[in-house]
Amino acid sequence: MLALPDGTLPVAPALAADDAASDPACSILPQPLDSQQLLQGRRELQILHQGQIYRLQQTRQGKLILTK
């Protein structure tokens, strides 16, 4: 990266929420979502993704299984 004439490095402008959602760099490391927040006390959750239904299940041992 090239320094500015005063010797400082340029700083990228902050992204608005809408810009961040469409910025590919922001999708590299998405913020983790707590599984309890998704399941909300249930042991199974159905997720509709591109017209297909997936099941997210929590096992007795606390592991997660995603099936189509």
pLDDT at 14 over 80: no
Indicate the burial class of 57 (C-beta count within 10 angstroms; 0-12, 13-18, 19 or more). middle
Yes or no: say if 57 and 38 are a contact pair by the CB < 8 Å rule: no
Is 19 part of any domain?
A: no
Q: How many domains does the chain have?
A: 1
Position 64 in a domain: yes
The CA-based angle 65-41-61, given to 5 degrees, is 40
The dihedral sign for the CA sequence 24, 29, 31, 36: positive
pLDDT in tens, 32-65: 989 999 999 999 999 999 999 999 999 999 999 9
CATH of the domain at 58: 2.10.70.10
